[in-house]
Amino acid sequence: MNALDRRPQLMCFSHLRWDFVFQRPQHLLTRAARDYDVYFVEEPLVEADAAPHLRASRRPEGVTVIVPVLPPAGEDAAATMIADLLRPILPPSSRQRILWYYTPMAMAFSRGIEADTVVYDNMDELSAFRGAPPRLLDLEAELFARADLVFTGGMSLYAAKRRRHRSVHPFPSSIDVAHFHEARRKPAEPADQAVIGGPRAGFFGVIDERMDIDLVAQTAALRPDWQFVMIGPVVKIDPASLPAAPNIHWLGGKSYRDLPAYLGGWDVGLMPFALNEATRFISPTKTPEFLAAGLPVLSTAIADVVSPYGEKGLVEIVSDPAGMAEGLDRLRTPPAGWLAAVDGHLAGMSWNQTWAGMQRLIDGSVQARRQRMGDLRSRTRPTPVGETLHV
């Protein structure tokens, strides 16, 4: 058996598609793939007349993406089929196995899989999102009961979850500084943005019920001389509901690789989040990404943006269209010393550091489990003949 055959396995269950938007799961699991065989199990695809099978593909980041393909079936039958499909790719019990959850819904088919450590990386309050499954909260309670470690995607989510488990650890959104620093070098602009005039304010990310589209529309109306560049896939809302105006440009989803080229052509970054249940606990990764790109940022009062970014003067917090419009005028010329303060704050952040902190906790959890199993074996071993058992 060679060294690769002995690598531990990390099996991740996610509600997000690997190729959807490159964000927290991709950053962390790409780093995990240096030491683990990483399987990223997506939610199933349902195809009429399909025989149950796994669609597997290896990504350049070293992660194997697994998509269960199922015929139409009820929830219980689907869970049984997925469990049966996953069984052949589980390594021998002699190899270390980590189960890593982004969605509690995966408990329905994975509860029978043994693991050395179970991690719940609770990056969002999924129960507050539009279309959340009715069983999600019950399955999350089951996941909390099984998990050895719970990580949270931000401090507000940590505050909400820290009493639900014995080992909850906050790991707020981090940053690949070198990647977004490329925007400061003003790379050649992509063709679909090069034809848009300036000044420009921009947003990138998923466009869904978390965006305050009325705020975008009203700010654009107040500042017709500004161009608003909106990048990202539209999900769970009707694209026809997006505001249409000569100075609002919906450019669709872009690759993570190309983001610096877009951000390098913007004057201000926008985070026009609605203040609702879906945004109550979010910790937007784009906050430090905007800042690493050298862009001043206007944001609504998201708790994990207000603290620490607003309190440190790194991001300006606004509450209405007038405030956002006035902020655009102010931030077109960032205040003196702002960029140095930004770089000082970002110097203590990286996805490498985040993964290293998580890895230390995982290693400690695995060692603690081995110790418990060793103690259990010692307590239950037979008493040798002639040995006195003292009680």
Q: Please report the DSSP string for 8-76 in residue order.
A: -EEEEE-SS-TTT---HHHHHHHHHTTTSEEEEEPPPEE-TTPPPEEEEEE-TTSEEEEEEEE-S--HH
Contact 55, 66 (CB under 8 A): yes
Predicted confidence at residue 389, as pLDDT, reads 31
| ∠ Cα 205 209 212 (to 5°) | 80
Both tokens assigned to 116: 């050395």
CA-based nearest residue to 348, from 299, 304, 294, 291 = 291
| Pair 316, 361 in one domain | no
Both tokens assigned to 309: 């970014």
Question: Cα(157)–Cα(318) distance, rounded to whole angstroms?
Answer: 22
Contact 269, 290 (CB under 8 A): yes
| ∠ Cα 250 44 205 (to 5°) | 20
Return the percentage of the chain with pLDDT > 70, whole number: 93
| Pair 256, 222 in one domain | yes
Summarize pLDDT for 241-291 with one digit per residue, the tens.
999 999 999 999 999 999 999 999 999 999 999 999 999 999 999 999 999
Question: Cα(354)–Cα(172) distance, rounded to whole angstroms?
Answer: 9
Mean of pLDDT values over 173-194: 96
DSSP 150-213: EEESSHHHHHHHTTSSS-EEE------HHHHHGGGG-PPPPHHHHTS-SSEEEEES-BSTTB-H
| Pair 232, 153 in one domain | no
CA-based nearest residue to 305, from 345, 356, 339, 271 = 271
Mean of pLDDT values over 152-178: 95
Confidence of residue 376 (pLDDT cuts 50, 70, 90): low
Contact 366, 95 (CB under 8 A): no
DSSP state of 207: B
Predicted confidence at residue 128, as pLDDT, reads 87
Confidence of residue 5 (pLDDT cuts 50, 70, 90): low
Contact 84, 52 (CB under 8 A): yes
Pairing of strands 117-122, 149-152: parallel
| Pair 83, 205 in one domain | no
Query: Would 54 be classed as within a structural domain?
Result: yes
Mean of pLDDT values over 223-242: 96
Predicted confidence at residue 287, as pLDDT, reads 97
The H-or-E segment that residue 208 falls in is: none
Predicted confidence at residue 371, as pLDDT, reads 81
CA-based nearest residue to 129, from 185, 206, 191, 202 = 206
How many domains would you assign to the chain?
2
| ∠ Cα 217 201 299 (to 5°) | 75
| Pair 331, 356 in one domain | no
Question: Cα(379)–Cα(374) distance, rounded to whole angstroms?
Answer: 9
Average pLDDT, the chain: 93
Query: Would 374 be classed as within a structural domain?
Result: no
Both tokens assigned to 345: 């704050």
Predicted confidence at residue 372, as pLDDT, reads 77
373 CB burial (10 A radius; 0-12, 13-18, 19+):
exposed
Confidence of residue 81 (pLDDT cuts 50, 70, 90): very high
Range of the structural domain that residue 142 is part of: 3-174+351-367
Mean of pLDDT values over 41-55: 96
| Pair 252, 359 in one domain | no
Predicted confidence at residue 163, as pLDDT, reads 95
Give the gyration radius of the chain's Cα atoms: 24
Both tokens assigned to 238: 């009707």
Query: Would 382 be classed as within a structural domain?
Result: no
Q: What backbone torsions phi and psi does residue 372 show, to the nearest 5 degrees?
A: -65, -40
pLDDT over 50 at 385, yes or no: no
Sequence-ordered alpha helix ranges (H) in 162-197: 177-181, 191-194
| Pair 168, 181 in one domain | no
Mean of pLDDT values over 306-323: 97
pLDDT over 70 at 373, yes or no: no
Predicted confidence at residue 1, as pLDDT, reads 40
Question: Cα(240)–Cα(215) distance, rounded to whole angstroms?
Answer: 16
Query: Would 249 be classed as within a structural domain?
Result: yes
Contact 307, 154 (CB under 8 A): no
- We report the CATH number of the domain holding residue 29 as 3.40.50.2000
pLDDT over 80 at 384, yes or no: no
Mean of pLDDT values over 200-214: 96
Predicted confidence at residue 380, as pLDDT, reads 62
Return the percentage of the chain with pLDDT > 90, whole number: 87
Check residues 375 and 317 and name the one with the higher pLDDT: 317
b (16+ CB within 10 A) / e for 144-169: beebbbbbbbbbbbbebbeeebeebe
Question: Cα(139)–Cα(146) distance, rounded to whole angstroms?
Answer: 11
| Pair 201, 322 in one domain | yes
Summarize pLDDT for 102-138 with one digit per residue, the tens.
999 999 999 999 999 999 999 999 988 888 899 999 9
| Pair 193, 113 in one domain | no
| Pair 362, 274 in one domain | no
pLDDT over 60 at 199, yes or no: yes
DSSP state of 94: T
| Pair 313, 327 in one domain | yes
Query: Would 163 be classed as within a structural domain?
Result: yes
Question: Cα(121)–Cα(98) distance, rounded to whole angstroms?
Answer: 12
